[in-house]
Amino acid sequence: MKGLKHFSVTVRVWRQAGPKEPGKMVSYKVKDVSPDMSFLEMLDVLNDNLLKKGDTPIAFESDCREGICGCCGLVVNGDVHGPDEHSTVCQLHMRRFSDGDVITVEPWRVKSFPVIKDLVVDRSSFDRLIAAGGFISVNTGAAPDANSVPVEKDKAEEAMDAAACIGCGACVASCPNGAAMLFVGAKVSQLALLPQGTPERANRALNMVAAMDKEGFGNCTNEYECEAVCPKDVKVANIARLNREFLLANLFSKK
């Protein structure tokens, strides 16, 4: 930080008391910021200052703070999850900013993720997508012996890559259409690639796409913004697989 041990920033943050309340941007000065602080630790310091003044602290989500849970979904200076590639906000450090910077912090701006309070949004629509088909319900009995069910190495690796999705919602927030197809594509892919998910693959694709439409998510138009911001670098190839699974399910559907 050019010799600076500590510095000051101005944080412009979205404040909204509730889902039906009007919101606005409010600016706060944060002093004695260490370059080694994470972005969320800086928000913690800001909230401590607000509490000392008797003001309401800023509501934001976090849990693991290790880039695993995906709770810390924010837009920082117009960038989903901040300026770092393939990372979460909790992995963003204040060394990325300079003394005197003005930092704008907003929640996800997606119809399907309505604001609950300040920077907290309701992502329960993702839960409903999973409930529509992102699981295996077939009774397969006891666990099979190791290596008794052959799985190609390439498919196993693809399935694991798709399963890395943490459901943070960055793909939706970055998409100009508010599409959830990378999330749904990842969940469909991780099961479609493995033999355990084969019996329900048609219904899974049909039901999850129907649920996606019901929740008001948009459609993919190949913008690739979702892949660019995904903390786990989930590939858009999973969207192509989702489209194939959906087309085949419709083709052979008995309905």
The pLDDT of residue 168:
96
**pLDDT > 90? residue 142:** no
What is d(CA 42, CA 45) in angstroms, rounded to the nearest whole number?
Answer: 5
Query: At 33, is the secondary structure helix, strand, or coil?
Result: strand
Q: Which domains does the chain have, with CATH numbers?
A: 7-116 (3.10.20.30), 123-252 (1.10.1060.10)
The number of residues in the chain equals: 255
Q: Are 252 and 202 in contact (CB under 8 A)?
A: yes
The pLDDT of residue 189:
97
82-122 confidence digits (pLDDT tens): 999 999 999 999 999 999 999 999 999 999 999 999 999 99
Mean pLDDT for the stretch of residues 10-17? 98
Residue type, 20: K
Q: Which two tokens stand for residue 246?
A: 């959906």
Q: Are 231 and 192 in contact (CB under 8 A)?
A: no
What is d(CA 219, CA 222) in angstroms, rounded to the nearest whole number?
Answer: 9
Mean pLDDT for the stretch of residues 245-254? 89
How confident is the prediction for the chain on average, in pLDDT?
Answer: 94
24-50 confidence digits (pLDDT tens): 999 999 999 999 999 999 999 999 999
The candidate with the shortest Cα–Cα distance to 112, out of 222, 240, 219, is 219
Q: Are 72 and 40 in contact (CB under 8 A)?
A: yes
**pLDDT > 80? residue 254:** no
The pLDDT of residue 139:
77
